[in-house]
Chains A and B, each alone.
Chain A
Amino acid sequence: QVQLVQSGGGVVQPGRSLSLSCTASGLAFSSHAMNWVRQSPDKGLEWVASITYDGSNYFHADSVKGRFTVSRDNSLNTLFLHMRSLRPEDTAVYYCTTLDTLGTTDDYWGQGTLVTISS
């Protein structure tokens, strides 16, 4: 049974930093590209970042570019999202997911973690 277990999140002040992690089990983690997707009432579901299976390439949405960094440690089966210079509009539930948009594999999602940016 595949599980993506997320940790991190919470309430932080604008301008501060926060990191999220997502640990996979039951999945050939090192064979999968991984993604972060966030969901807020204002913007709905929004793709945030992607990283290739081996971590050699990564991509970020324009809305977070230069502030967020996706990374992974395949030896720990763990995906990370390092967020800095946080803004109120970054408030959302963040999901880690395989987000297989091409239909080449099964699609898996973490349980989500709430990030609230507020003074």
Chain B
Amino acid sequence: DVEMTQFPLSLSVTLGQPASISCRSSQSLVYSDGNTYLNWFLQRPGQPPRRLIYKVSNRDSGVPGRFSGSGSGTDFTLKISRVEAEDVGVYYCLQGTHWPPEFGQGTKVEI
């Protein structure tokens, strides 16, 4: 199985300042069709996870523009340009290129 490693595991941020989370996979996430199936989720306290980003850099509907995803191969990054209070929670990366799907261990973001 593919291992997904996130860092840092905990991040203390300042409102209005940028934040960045990294995710590394044990194998390349480039699929045979040329796509890279790397997703980012946010789980707010007491809620189920919500997908923010799919295929590395595509924002889901309703996701603010301050969230951006980048990366390739085995190294990926989620960036928040200016952190807002509602961004608090745990962020997870998820790979869908290889079976079975695997989540990273999560990065807890707090203000």
Residues of A bordering B, CB below 8 Å: 44-47, 59, 61, 95, 97, 99-103, 106-107, 109-112
Where the two chains meet, the residues of B that have a C-beta atom closer than 8 Å to any C-beta of A are 35, 37, 39, 48-51, 54-55, 58, 60-61, 92, 94-96, 99-106
- Which of A45, A95, A102, A110 has the most C-beta atoms of chain B within 10 angstroms of its own C-beta? A45
Given contacts A45-B106, A59-B100, A103-B39, contact A109 B49 (CB under 8 A): yes
Give min CB distance, B89 to chain A, whole Å: 13
In the complex the two chains form, is A47's CB within 8 Å of B101's CB?
A: yes
Choose from A47, A103, A109 the contact partner of B103 (Cβ within 8 Å). Answer: A47
Is the beta-carbon distance between B55 and A103 smaller than 8 angstroms? yes
Q: Beyond A45-B103, A95-B48, A107-B51, is A102–B61 a contact (Cβ under 8 Å)?
A: no
Give chain A residues whose Cβ lies under 8 Å from the Cβ of B61. 106
Are the CB atoms of B48 and A102 closer together than 8 Å? no
Instruction: Find out whether the CB atom of B103 lies under 8 angstroms from the CB atom of A97.
Output: no
Please name the residue on chain B nearest to A109 by beta carbon: B48
B9 nearest CB across to chain A (Å) = 11
Q: Is the CB of A103 within 8 A of B94?
A: no
Residue ID in chain A nearest B104 by CB atoms: A44
- Contacts A/B (CB < 8 Å), 23 sampled: A44-B103, A44-B104, A45-B49, A45-B94, A47-B102, A47-B103, A59-B99, A95-B49, A100-B51, A100-B54, A101-B39, A101-B96, A101-B101, A102-B35, A102-B37, A102-B54, A102-B96, A103-B58, A106-B60, A107-B51, A107-B60, A109-B50, A111-B48
